Amino acid sequence: MNVADAREGDWIEVNAVGGGPSRRGQILEVLGEPGHRHFSVRWDEQHETLHFPAEGTRVLDAVEAGAAPRGEER
């Protein structure tokens, strides 16, 4: 899925700088205007931050993320 198409409830995976382990988080809120989207994200480490997508950010579908599809509980 394209980062521009991400919605609340989707998951993102971000590659670490320098080759470290990637991070995953769930999008809590989509912010900004088209072309300048950013997200409020709850990361696997259970903290929340704003994330401004860049190279190395991809949106995961429910199967890839190991989560329930949108609107369904795990």
In a domain, 12, yes or no: yes
Query: How confident is the model at residue 8, as a pLDDT?
Result: 92
| Number of alpha helices (DSSP H) and beta strands (DSSP E) in the chain | 1, 5
Query: How confident is the model at residue 20, as a pLDDT?
Result: 83
Residues of the chain with pLDDT under 70: 62, 67-74
Query: How confident is the model at residue 74, as a pLDDT?
Result: 43
The CATH number for 35's domain is: 2.30.30
> How many angstroms separate the first and last alpha carbons of the chain?
21
Mean pLDDT, the chain, whole residue set: 85
In a domain, 7, yes or no: yes
Query: How confident is the model at residue 69, as a pLDDT?
Result: 52
In a domain, 73, yes or no: no
Q: Which domain holds residue 27?
A: 3-65
In a domain, 56, yes or no: yes
In a domain, 72, yes or no: no
- The answer to whether the pTM exceeds 0.85 is no
Total number of domains in the chain: 1
In a domain, 74, yes or no: no
Tokens of 36: 């300048």
Q: Which residues contact 41 (CB under 8 A, 6 or more apart)?
A: 12, 25, 26, 27, 28, 48, 49, 50, 51
Q: Tell me phi and psi for residue 64, to 5 degrees.
A: -60, -40
